[in-house]
Structure 1
Amino acid sequence: DVNKENKDGETPLFNVCSSGNELVVKYLVEQGADINQKNRNGETPIFNACSSGNESVVKYLIELDSDVNQENENGETPIFNACSSGNESIVKYLIEVGADVNKKNIEEKKRRYLKHVQIEMKT
């Protein structure tokens, strides 16, 4: 079962999105892996891909309608993970496809960084 969860509520797709193996990601999706399944923290596989800097996997998941504004339990979206990991090209891509750069997380720690990225994108 490609959607079988581990103790953290994650399926194999979460791990493969972290590894960046696009071929295996595509295989799992073809076998019925749910790209919008949430783990115990409310995150979907795109969060892992954004954290790991796997731009091709991020783009593939978005092509399949993965929600770029899906919030985890802290009110964070995938762009927060991309920012935290310093994945500038993914941040830019997420903005291009509609990620909310004005989104505040519960602690509002990353808000300034997102605003900085937004300003940099305009210059």
Structure 2
Amino acid sequence: MSCGGHEHSEFASPLACSIWRAAQTQQLARVKEIIEKGTQSANSKDESGYSALHYAARTGNNSIVNYLISKNAQVNVATPGGDTPLHRAAYMGHESTCEILLNHKADPNKKNSDNQTPLHRAEANNKPQILELLIKYNA
């Protein structure tokens, strides 16, 4: 099996060929290729319930975040634990990623299964700039 021109088994596994892996490892060209071929959609979830947008938000890759949103990725999609891409970006302190998500109607008040909003996640990881941004968006 080939994945992105690689024949090595590490790159040919279904996980390595996934949109989630491409988003996690910040490979915009690979994300585009997967979506354009129709192999997976912008809203496909992995076995753990994470979308590519969760992974891109966590790494702060705005190019992938913007691309996935342009392909109708759901910005308020939640993991089984209730975390949205905004929860993940807020926790990691990716201010511009948070702003992109918020500008595309991400809910700053959505609670996860621990009853935490993105504001709580930013506070837990000492990200004051994210707290200010979320408050600006009525969190």
Q: 2:33 is matched with which residue: 27, 37, 46? A: 27
Provide TM-score, normalisation by structure 2. Answer: 0.73
Q: Which has the higher contact order (CA 8 A, sep 6+)?
A: 1
Per-residue CA distance 1:46-99 (angstroms, 9 max, x = gap): 101111111010000000100000111111111011111111100011001100
State, as a whole percentage, how many aligned pairs show the same letter. Answer: 27
Structure 1: which 5+ runs fail to align? none
Tell me what 1:16 maps to. 22
> Which protein is bigger by CA-based radius of gyration?
2
Task: Give the Å deviation of 1:119.
Answer: 1.8
**Local SS of the residue matching 1:27:** helix
Q: 2:134 is matched with which residue: 113, 118, 122? A: 118
The two structures, once aligned, show a CA RMSD in angstroms of: 2.5
Distance 1:101 1:57, change over 3 A: same
Q: Does 1:73 align with 2:52?
A: no
Tell me what 1:38 maps to. 45
Q: Partners in 1 of 2:112 and 2:57 — Cα distance? A: 17
